[in-house]
Every structure is written in structure tokens, then in C-alpha cells.
A and B are shown apart, each in its own frame.
Chain A
Amino acid sequence: MEITDLSVGVLLEKIANRDISRREIVKAYLARIEKVEGKINSFVSIFAEDALRIATDQDKKNKKGVLSGIPCGIKDVLCTAGKRTTASSHMLDSFIPPYNATVVEKVIDSGAIVLGKNNCDAWAHGASTENSDYGVTHNPWDLSRVPGGSSGGSAASVAAGEVPFSIGSDTGGSIRQPAGFCGAVGLKPTYGRVSRYGLVAMASSLDVVGPITRDVYDAALVLNIMAGADPLDSTTPAQKVPDHTKELECSIKGKKIGLPKEYFGLGLDKEVEKIYRDSLNKFEKLGGEVIEISLPHTEYGIAVYYIIQTAEVSSNLGRYDGIKYGYSAETSRDLIDFYFKTRDEGFGAEAKRRIMLGTYVLSSGYYDQYYSKAQKVRTLIAKDFVKAFEKVDFILSPVSPTPAFKIGEKTSDPLSMYLADIYTVQANLAGIPAISFPAGMSEERLPVGIQVMGPQFSESMLLNVAYQFEQETKNEAWRKIKPEI
């Protein structure tokens, strides 16, 4: 196996045994990036020299750190001090953050080495990475297809062997869906489990930060580093951070698995449905008990999500006015004209669309009918999950109705793109954790993922469930197939 095929867990073993140096690892991954990045376009910025310098330095000092020597990518919505952070938007093309996001600080402290900033949909608005101002990222499994989004660059870079893990963000599915499209593991932690300080804000009541990895063990390891209360983010509860790797090997015999009856239909592709149903059988083989449940407000998820999210987006994007940072218009008559021009020229179409939608649903005369109502329906959705978890331990669902679609296929109809979020927005609205992981492949050799969701702060249990599935299926034929880039 190539160094760039190895998981974080295996790389750490090799470093500990002195089979390989940190510098060799970083060199190998940088060489891989050099080889395939032209076809994938998963990075906005690459920090080759810094990465090599840090790796060499760590080797010299034999640095102690849980992830010492491990290269990673960071979605370009997380601030990296002194290093350009664009949110994949021209608006922030020249922005150099004066501080690290808390999660970036933690990743660096653990010894992981940031190779670069991953491409994404601008402002994390999207499910395909086609909204990036730095070009679309191509799915390593089929370069004519999208990697998903908005953390498409993160997922593609892991799938292409450019980095063993990346940190992404998830507001309505942006970690889980691209992980599903790219055959990676994507973990959306409980809201508040990981600090949002230094994350370019999209929708503040929905945003979370989480890892995209090759396997479940790696996700648990990286979550350990990322999680924890932060005085700089007052939406992080004081919940203790367990070692998320501890329960991985436990048997899941007797676990009750929720099968939501509302999750069929919903545009679910036949192949995806077959893989979903097969995975239920595999969970039964592992000793789980499948129980049909009802999440009656499922069908309202998209409407509720796109009302609340765009409202919060319209507020959060109000800060981009060309004054303190970011793009600013060259000429203008006065301050107001300056704002109009800066924001017209700096924002892309999707950002403008969402700003206007959000402004509409918050505006006088419409606030009650849309925003206020959506907040109440959100309560109903969250309650559906609380009720379900009284009967079952976790819920199994598809990640996306289809495998990765072709680049350009959905761009002419924004609503059709939004509707494909049906399985992922639910967890964000309820604030619960969810993990998507590979479950098979389509006839066209495209990865298909499945998702497990659990109560708040049940990440250890979800990781255990996903790990057991991964082990059970590790010798299946589809696991041997690799992307040919």
C-alpha cells in the first residue's frame, strides 16, 4: 500500500515504530497532491513549504502529539492565522485572518500538519461545490461528477488520497453528503460539541464543525481532538469529552435500530434504496433489532431548514461591507452606494439568492408567516426525534436520495438542489449528531453512503455502530475498488 492510502491510525503506528518519518509522510501527500490536484481541484490554498518545515521540525524533536505528523486539509471556512481564508468567495479573496479558529488551534496543537485549505461552495452555500468562486471540485470516482457539498473539497481530497483527513462544516448536510458521494466517513457532531469560534458563520443555530476521514476509527480520533467547551463560543455546553475510540469494539447486539417509515419514496434512487435495505439486514446480523418508527414532520424539513437557514445567513452575511476586511468596491458615490457595489460585486448568485430569501422571511409582514412558523415546526421536528429515541437507540437512513450527480445537472434549478437535502437537514434542525459512512457502490461505481443519527452527545455510540458495520463489511468486493484518477 502507498503511504497515501493509509489511514490516520495506521500512519500513527508507523511513526511510533519509526517505520517512516513525518517528513516522508508529508512529502508523499504533497507529491500525491501534485499528481492529481489538477484534475480534482480540491484546494484553494496549499502550504507545501510550511508543511515540510513543520514535519522536519517535529521529526527532530520527536514531537509528542496525538496526531503528530499527520497531514490534513481544512475547509476554507475556518480561519487559519496568517493564511488566506476565503470561504471560497471572491468577497474574501484577500482576507488573512489574524487568528486561528479554535478547532484549527486544537488540530495544530495535536501535531497535525495543515497541508492546505479545501475548496467548498462559497459561504458553504450549496451541495455540490459548484458555487465555489475558485472552480468546481471534481469527484475522484468520476471526474465528470460533483463531489457533493458544501465540504466537497474536503471529501474529495480524502477520497483522492491527498490528505488522510480534513475538517469540514455541516449546516444542512455539508459534511455527510459529500462524504457519502466520495466514499468517505463524515461526522456531524452534536450542535455545540465543537467550537464555532473562527468558523465563517453561515446559520448560527445550525452550523457545526466535524471531521471527514477514511475510516471510522480516524473520525473518533479526530473528534477527540476537536471536541470540548470553549470560552470563546458560548454555545458550547460544558459536556465532558469522552474518548470516542473506547467503545468502538463493543458489540451492538440488542441495539434497537429505528427505520423511519417516512424515509422511503422521497425521490430515493432504486440502487440507493437497495443498499440501504441491505445495510439494515447487516445490522440485524450484528444483533440489532430493526423497529419501524415514525418521524411525522419529515416532509417539512426542507421548508423549515431553508427558511431558518436563509434568515440566519442574511443576518450573518450583513458584516461583509468592504470596510474592515474583504473585497471593497473601487468607486462609489457615498457609503450606501459603496455597500451596494461591494456586495453586488463581491457576492455570487447563490449568496445573493439566500440573502434575499432570508431578508424576505424576516421582513415585516412576513416574519410570522415564515420565520416564526418555521421555528415552531422546528420544535415539532426536534420532538419527533426525542420521541423516537425513547423507542430506539439510533436511526438508520440514507444520506442522499441519489449517488453523485453530474456537474451542471442541477444548477439551473436551485430548488431541485435544495430538495436533495431531505435526509440530512433533519439532524441539524434537531441539533443531534449523525455520521455518514460507506455502505456500497452503484452500478456505475459511485459510492453510496448511509447515515446513523442518535440523541445529543451520543457520538461514541454512533461511532461504535458505524465501526461495527465497517468491520462486518470490510471484505466485501466494493471495498476493494479505488478511484482511478
Chain B
Amino acid sequence: MKKISTKEIEYLAELSRVGLTGDEIEKYKSEIENILNYFQKLEGLDVDGISPTAQVTGLENILRCDEIKKSDVLRDEILNNAKSKENGFIKVKTIL
């Protein structure tokens, strides 16, 4: 029976930058435990020598010439969606 600790849920929330309340943590803990338990199904399966599938198209390295093409998209329309702006730039909180 797969068990996951409250600490692990808190860690996942921290890694994925999603703030959770105490109640939420308990709720997700039991739901995620249940689902992870279901994933145990794969445990017994032998995958020796099998290569992983990352994508199904078989395409590799789709390239184009390094030429500048004019974009149809206007700067203002892009900036319109940002909440915090200054002088045509998107403004963020201090990082360092």
C-alpha cells in the first residue's frame, strides 16, 4: 500500500510553486496516495531492453534557416496581457 507523507505533499507544493492550506494538503494527500497506489500496477512489468517513447512522430531536429522574419504579432497586444509594465517592458519583482 503506497503511502505518502504530509511532508512529501508540502515538498511537491513547494517544488511546483503552488501554495496550499493545511486542509488542502490533507485532501490531496489521500487522493494522491490512492492514485499512486494504482500506479503500482506497473511494478511487476518487465521492461528490460525496451526503449522509452518520448514522442510518436519519429521526427528529429526540425530546422530552418536562421533568417529573421517579421512577426505579425504586435508588441502592444502582447504587453496588454501583462499586469505590471514599465517603458515597454514587463516588470517583475526583485529576483536577486
Contact = CB atoms under 8 A, between A and B. Distances in A.
Secondary structure at the B interface, as helix, strand, loop or mixed, is loop
Given A344-B18, A344-B20, A359 B54 contact: no
Contacts of B73: 98-99
Q: Interface residues of A toward B: which range? A: 35 or more
B1 interface: no
Interface in B49-96: 50-57, 59, 62, 64, 72-74, 77-78, 80-84, 90, 92-95
B5 to A, nearest CB: 12
B42 A303 contact: yes
Contact of A379 (B38, B41, B53, B59): B53
B45 A377 contact: yes
Contact of A303 (B16, B31, B39): B39
Given A205-B55, A376-B51, A328 B39 contact: no
A353 B9 CA distance: 10
Contacts of A99: 72-73
B32 A98 contact: no
Q: Interface residues of B toward A: which range? A: 35 or more
Nearest to B72: A99
B17 A325 contact: no
Interface string B10-33: 001101111110001000100110
Contacts, number: 161
Given A344-B20, A353-B28, A377-B42, A415 B34 contact: yes
A360 interface: yes
B18 A356 contact: yes
A234 B92 contact: no
Given A303-B39, A378-B52, A325 B47 contact: no
A303 B47 CA distance: 15
Interface of B: 4, 8-9, 12-13, 15-20, 24, 28, 31-32, 34-36, 38-39, 41-42, 45, 47, 50-57, 59, 62, 64, 72-74, 77-78, 80-84, 90, 92-95
